[in-house]
Amino acid sequence: MNLNDILGSDVVDGDGQRLGEVSDFRFALDAGAGQLLSPARLVGIVVSPRTASSFLGYERQGLTQPWPVAQLFRWWHRGSFLVLWEDIAAMGPQEVGLRAGFTAYDARLTR
C-alpha cells in the first residue's frame, strides 16, 4: 500500500465515530538546512471533516493570493486537523483508525 491509497479514506476515532477524511500528509526533513537529498519522515495525516481534496498549499501562513481562492480553501477546510503518526492505531485503504485519546493539532503549518 502507498500513501495515495490512503487519501480520501474515512478517519474514525477509538469509538468508531467518523471524524472526516484523509486530505493530506505532513512530512519532516531530518537533515540540516542546505543538504540536497534530505530523508523525509511521515509526521502525520491531515483530517478534513468535509472533503478529501488537497489544501493546494493554502494552509501555509501568509499565503493569501489570489484572495478569492485563499478564502474558499480556508472556508472549505475549516475544522481540519493534524493527527501525529503515533496517534494512528490502524491504517488501511478504506479506513484510518485513531487511538483513544488522540490529540488533534492545528493543520496549518507553523514555524
Q: Tell me the per-residue pLDDT of 4-47, one tens digit each, with 9 for 90 and over.
A: 888 889 999 999 999 999 988 888 877 666 666 777 888 999 89
Give residue limits of the domains in the chain. 3-106
CA–CA gap between residue 107 and residue 54 (Å, rounded): 12
Architecture of domain 3-106 in this structure = Roll (2.30)
**pTM (predicted TM-score):** 0.72
Q: Which three cell numbers stand for residue 87?
A: 496517534
Per-residue pLDDT at 29: 77
50 vs 67: CA distance, rounded Å: 21
- The Cα–Cα gap between 109 and 111 comes to 7
Judged by DSSP in three states, 41 sits in strand
